[in-house]
Amino acid sequence: MNASPARSSVRRAYVLVGVAGLWILVLFARLGELQVVRHDEFVRRAKKQQERTVELAPRRGTIVDRVGRPLAVTTAVESVFAIPSDIDDPAAVARALAPIVQQPAGELRRRLSDRERDFVWIARRVSEETALAVKRRSLPGVRLLKESARRYPEGSLAASVVGYVGTDSQGLGGLEHRWDGEVRGRPARVTVLRDAAQRSYGLQRGAPGGAGPRATDEVEGASLRLTLHAGLQHVAERELARVREETGARAASAVVLDPQTGEILAMASVPTFDPNSWSDASADARRCRPIADAYEPGSTFKVITAAAAIEAGTIGPDDIIDCGGGSLTIGRKTIHEHGRAAWGALPLIDVLAHSSNIGAAHIGLGLGKAGFNRAVRAFGFGSRTGVDLEGENGGLLRDPAAWSALSLPTISFGQEIGVNALQLARAFCALANGGILPTPYLVAEIARPGSAPELRRPPVGARVISEATAAAMRRLLVKVVEAGTGRKAAVPGFAVAGKTGTAQKAVPGAGYSADRYVASFYGFLPADRPRVVIGVLVDEPRGKTYGGDVAAPVFAVIAAEAMRVLGEPGRPAEDRVTPSILTADLSRGAAPLTGALPPGLIPAALRPFAEPEDFDRLAAGERFVPDLAGRSAREAVQELSQRGFAVKLAGHGFVVVQEPAAGTALPRGSAVRLTLSFAPPVTDVLLRPLGPTFPMEPLAP
């Protein structure tokens, strides 16, 4: 029996209601998924379609010198951008804009026609004149936006140290690169708005009262206070530029350090560049040469050899060193003295003053491979100094297992080893401060927004030599400036200690160049309580090539300025000792001197020998034998060696007999035999003042 039509209609109604209800539930479930479950996803997708965020350059922190003089600052400048969807005629806009921003019209038209892009940079960080011209034209779709720009108010001053930044304000060189994470800060952002048709309709509004872009989450970077002194840096760069121009040198560098703390007061190199337009300079000009360039130090390294030997006890500060008459043969190779000099036996003080290669080689040989290598590495050679600046060349010091028979003697006088200027200056700091090897550094203080400034002090370095060795080396190095190769490094009113260097440049695979040199001078002052260590090197000077002629005068000017900057009082001219002569003829009954001489006085037997007047009887290469009666062994050996004679000693004390006699003409290299005794003959006494640096020989009672 069939169901009634009414009951069928009810059933169909229930089915329809159920289906509709189920459909509604599905819709609600889908809406719930879209509105609740996937809400965040669709918000992100909507923002991506409607907005585009453009990141602007962050506001970098300032960089100042030790007294607050700004070296790098951040300023607000205008940049030009375009919104292509707002431009109906890209060709016309490009033609009008091209001469203002100085860009090709065709390239501008191509960029302005790209409707897929809603933000196009036209020119970043333009001049005020350019920004004003863009504003006056009021071109459709072309607008201005304020950005941060890096400026270097001192131009090229310390450019290779401070560094430079790229278009996106990222540090690309120097401290700007090394400390980019601290200095850069957090960038500002602006948002470009688009409608449903993907047409741009402007920038999100910023602060009240303006329709400009909104800066979001901008945080200024940390500021750096450096150890550099801008005034001293300027003098160093000026003098390097002068010597480079005068000598036609390829380049020049200088470093000024505080030996007690390791602070770098100046670090300069030429050629240099202007970081405000760094892209116009070559990569060579942007090099920080004092740390990036490694070179063979030559004679300046003899100081390290001597200090290592004194510390090891293989020689003493007053020892006599065999300089071999100007040559040293090892196997089939013979090492010669520079300039073909023929020194015999020299006191250590004169090995340094006359810069004897053979003397330094003998000192190094006395240390042995293992001892010498250990000492040189302790001075920091063969590794980076740890300076807070990237790009340092650690130099070259091979493992002793790879040394040849000639390596030890040649490294002893500065060949077969590579150093950078900062490494060697740091090693001289250990001589100046009593034996501690400091860590050089440039950043003295970091000031982060909202925080107290953080002072930076590297840990105290390791002791590499004793205070006694350092003091002995200071005394020895004063002689180099007073009476040796470094006379032109003298600074009036101050005792200067230092060493010259004239190193031939190595030619890969061809030995050493005959006409390419590195001239250098490293030293410190005042010698008795050093305040600064200064290193100067000139790469490939022409004409004058010796370190004493080229680098030492630059050292003197920088050193004088350093003393002025540090407020170090020099000794007035009237306070300096003036030589005077007093005589007493002991053979005529005057009482002999039985006690020690007054401070600064030496016996008459040490007075210079007066040469005979008949020089015409001297043959080529001959010299007169001086009168050495009564002289100490050290003084006698020094005098004979300076004249090119070899020395044979017998006994101890003072010269009582010499063969041949004084005034005899002998060829250079001839031997003079000296008999010594502690009972000097009766003679006149010459009393003359000596500086406090060199102790006198004891007198026999």
- Is residue 285 a contact partner of residue 340, using CB atoms and an 8 Å limit? no
- In angstroms, the CA 364 to CA 304 distance is 10
Helix axes 90-101, 105-112, angle to 10 degrees: 130
Residue 284 token pair: 């060579």
243 — pLDDT class (breaks 50, 70, 90): very high
User: Which region among 49-53, 407-411, 656-660 has the lowest average model confidence (pLDDT)?
Assistant: 49-53
pLDDT greater at residue 208 or residue 546: 546
- Is residue 598 a contact partner of residue 685, using CB atoms and an 8 Å limit? no
Tell me the pLDDT tens digit for each residue of 650-685.
777 778 888 888 888 888 778 888 887 765 443 333
pLDDT over 90 at 230, yes or no: yes
Task: Give the Cβ contact number of residue 69 at 10 Å.
Answer: 16
- Is residue 392 a contact partner of residue 420, using CB atoms and an 8 Å limit? yes
pLDDT over 50 at 446, yes or no: yes
pLDDT over 80 at 444, yes or no: yes
Task: Give the Cβ contact number of residue 472 at 10 Å.
Answer: 22
39 — pLDDT class (breaks 50, 70, 90): confident
Residue 687 token pair: 């009393």
In 3D, which of 507, 515, 521 has the Cα closest to residue 545?
515
In 3D, which of 224, 74, 63, 248 has the Cα closest to residue 157?
63
Tell me the pLDDT tens digit for each residue of 356-395.
999 999 999 999 999 999 999 999 999 999 999 999 999 9
The pTM for the full model equals: 0.73
596 — pLDDT class (breaks 50, 70, 90): very low
pLDDT of residue 613: 40
- In angstroms, the CA 18 to CA 212 distance is 57
pLDDT greater at residue 220 or residue 426: 426
- In angstroms, the CA 465 to CA 310 distance is 9
Tell me the pLDDT tens digit for each residue of 98-111.
888 888 888 888 88
Surface-to-core class of residue 20, CB atoms within 10 Å of its CB (0-12 exposed, 13-18 middle, 19+ buried): exposed
pLDDT greater at residue 673 or residue 580: 673
- Is residue 417 a contact partner of residue 393, using CB atoms and an 8 Å limit? no
Q: What value does the mean pLDDT take over residues 30-47? A: 72
Element (H, E) at 667: strand 665-667
In 3D, which of 155, 159, 154, 189 has the Cα closest to residue 177?
159
Residue 663 token pair: 């005034």
Task: Give the Cβ contact number of residue 367 at 10 Å.
Answer: 22
Surface-to-core class of residue 33, CB atoms within 10 Å of its CB (0-12 exposed, 13-18 middle, 19+ buried): exposed
592 — pLDDT class (breaks 50, 70, 90): very low
User: 493 φ, ψ to 5°?
Assistant: 90, -5
- In angstroms, the CA 99 to CA 460 distance is 59
pLDDT of residue 561: 95
pLDDT over 80 at 170, yes or no: yes
Average pLDDT, the chain: 82
606 — pLDDT class (breaks 50, 70, 90): very low
pLDDT greater at residue 337 or residue 610: 337
What is the DSSP pairing of strand 200-203 with strand 223-226?
A: unpaired
pLDDT greater at residue 549 or residue 700: 549
User: Which region among 429-438, 472-481, 580-589 has the lowest average model confidence (pLDDT)?
Assistant: 580-589
User: Which region among 20-24, 43-47, 155-159, 649-653 has the lowest average model confidence (pLDDT)?
Assistant: 43-47
Q: What value does the mean pLDDT take over residues 22-34? A: 81
Q: Is the dihedral of CA 158, 161, 166, 169 positive or negative?
A: negative
pLDDT of residue 603: 38
Q: What value does the mean pLDDT take over residues 547-553? A: 95
- In angstroms, the CA 235 to CA 628 distance is 47
Q: What value does the mean pLDDT take over residues 43-54? A: 60
Give the three-state DSSP class for 53.
strand
pLDDT over 80 at 340, yes or no: no
Rama region for 544: left / alpha / beta (φ>0; ψ in -120 to 50; rest): beta
Q: Is the peptide bond before 689 cis (omega within 30 degrees of 0)?
A: no
Element (H, E) at 257: strand 251-257
Burial profile 577-616: b = 16 or more Cβ within 10 angstroms, e = fewer = eeeeeeeeeeeeeeeebeeeeeeebbbbbbbebeeeeeee
% of the chain with per-residue pLDDT over 90: 47
Task: Give the Cβ contact number of residue 171 at 10 Å.
Answer: 21
- Is residue 269 a contact partner of residue 290, using CB atoms and an 8 Å limit? yes
Tell me the pLDDT tens digit for each residue of 128-164.
888 888 888 888 888 887 777 889 999 999 999 999 9
Q: What value does the mean pLDDT take over residues 345-359? A: 91
pLDDT of residue 185: 77
215 — pLDDT class (breaks 50, 70, 90): very low
Q: Is the peptide bond before 213 cis (omega within 30 degrees of 0)?
A: no
Tell me the pLDDT tens digit for each residue of 608-655.
444 444 444 566 667 888 888 877 777 788 778 777 788 887 777 778
pLDDT over 80 at 599, yes or no: no
Our measurement of the distance from residue 623's CA atom to the centroid of its chain's CA atoms, rounded to an integer in Å, reads 46
